[in-house]
Structure 1
Amino acid sequence: MKTSALLLVIVIIARVGCAQSSEKRIAYLSKDRKEVFGAGDAAFSRTIEEAGDGFILREYYQPSGKLRVIAECIEYEPEIVYHGTVKHYYENGILRREGRYEEGYATGVFVEYYETGTICQRKEYQSDDKELILQHYTPDGKEELTQGNGIISTTDGETVCNLEIKNYLLLNSYCIKGGDTVYTDVEKPAEFPGGMTAMMKFLQTHVKYPADARRNGIQGSVLTGFDIDKNGKISNLSTVRGVSDDLNDESLRVISAMPHWLPARVGGKAVKSRFVLPIKFRLATSNRRR
């Protein structure tokens, strides 16, 4: 009996050990999603595990080690391509957001929760790229939309943001801080002169892949935010999500060199708006499983 019990314990431990070893840490990340060296400077850690034809990606809060994200994906470098269920958690263990993706695209109904566990909102992503806001609730449970119509208002310090919803669709959104109104979603967005084709040509001509980043295999998409005033002038540039200092700086340099844009419009009038532009730096490698 003693021998059998000992053998059983050894087998169980061995199996647990094998399961743990399949989850491999691939990165430590700072709060602004930059990769850092070592747990001491990290806000999150990221692991990857092979699963079927894809991967299970997990992120953990540091230093607590509590689960932050668990996601099914088909690629994780140079960028994550979600495919399957994705769940985000608050550090207190409460579910923050859940939904499904198909090859990187959100699909179906997503549910978001407050840190208390009460529901915040439900959204539906449709195949034609429509994002429907089905329901939205205040922290105390009051529904803010009536049959898909209404205004969602949030406050963050001195900034008040308002989202105007009509027929379940976001019509306009704007933030007010210190009397200055900046629109983030508008009826007619700001546009690079000549449209998307002209902007892509401008980027292809002016973006230079930093030599150090290329040499060290650093790649990814830099998200840069900037304001476009009523006259189309660019100002207030910032890195929304960076990759590395040299890639971030190159993105800021190129955008600051752009000509004036055509300003956004609301109700036929030019308005100041906020724009976020991704600039992708990619080398010829991939970790997609075939």
Structure 2
Amino acid sequence: MKHVAIFIFLSFSLLTAAQNPFGEKPKPKPAQQEEIHSDIEKMPQFPGGPEAMQKYLEDNLAQPAVIRGICSSRKLIIAFVVEKDGSLSQVDIVKSIEGCPDFDFDVLRVVKNMPKWDPGFLNGYQVRCYYKMPIYIG
């Protein structure tokens, strides 16, 4: 009888230890990034369209005479992701203008500070979209 009581006591203590509420909790799985699309029904757009974007770039890019002289008639290509809410992420220069690193930094600054875009759509839903854009120095 004494052995049975010890067995029951040990079994009960093991069961309660296994259900310790202060033990480690399982870690949640990391959220998966949604796919970035490049072929969609409606491409994202700067608010107000291409003309408004051109004005935004002209108003915000610092193009001193030195940059215009050295780098004129050339183009830089920048790429970024337009998120579902219209914000921009992963902003990067795809094709730089050789000899004009200051212009590269200025373009990155201006694009990162752009207002939210109208997002792209696929099958009637807003989606993340990869976007490439040339910027010309006049």
Structure 2 gap segments, 5+ residues each: 1-31
Per-residue CA deviations over 1:221-269 (Å, capped at 9, x if unaligned) read 1111011110001111100100021121111111112100010000110
Aligned mate of 1:278, from 123, 130, 134: 134
- Runs (4 or more) in structure 1 with deviation over 2 Å come to 210-215
Give the total of aligned pairs. Answer: 104
2:81·2:129 contact (CA, 8 Å) conserved in 1?
Answer: yes
1:222·1:247 contact (CA, 8 Å) conserved in 2?
Answer: no
State the secondary structure of the residue aligned to 2:116.
coil
- Give the match for residue 246 of structure 1: 102
Using structure 1 for the length normalisation, give the TM-score: 0.34
Q: Does 1:262 align with 2:118?
A: yes
Q: Does 1:234 align with 2:50?
A: no
Select the structure with the greater relative contact order (CA < 8 A; seq sep ≥ 6). Answer: 2
Matched residues in 1 for 2:49 and 2:137: separation?
A: 21
2:40·2:122 contact (CA, 8 Å) conserved in 1?
Answer: yes
Matched residues in 2 for 1:184 and 1:235: separation?
A: 15
Structure that is richer in helix per residue: 2
Structure 1 gap segments, 5+ residues each: 1-177, 283-290
- CA pair 234-202 structure 1, distance change in 2 beyond 3 A: same
Structure that is richer in strand per residue: 1
Larger Rg: 2
Using structure 2 for the length normalisation, give the TM-score: 0.69
1:181·1:272 contact (CA, 8 Å) conserved in 2?
Answer: yes
TM-aligned CA deviation for residue 209 of structure 1 = 0.9
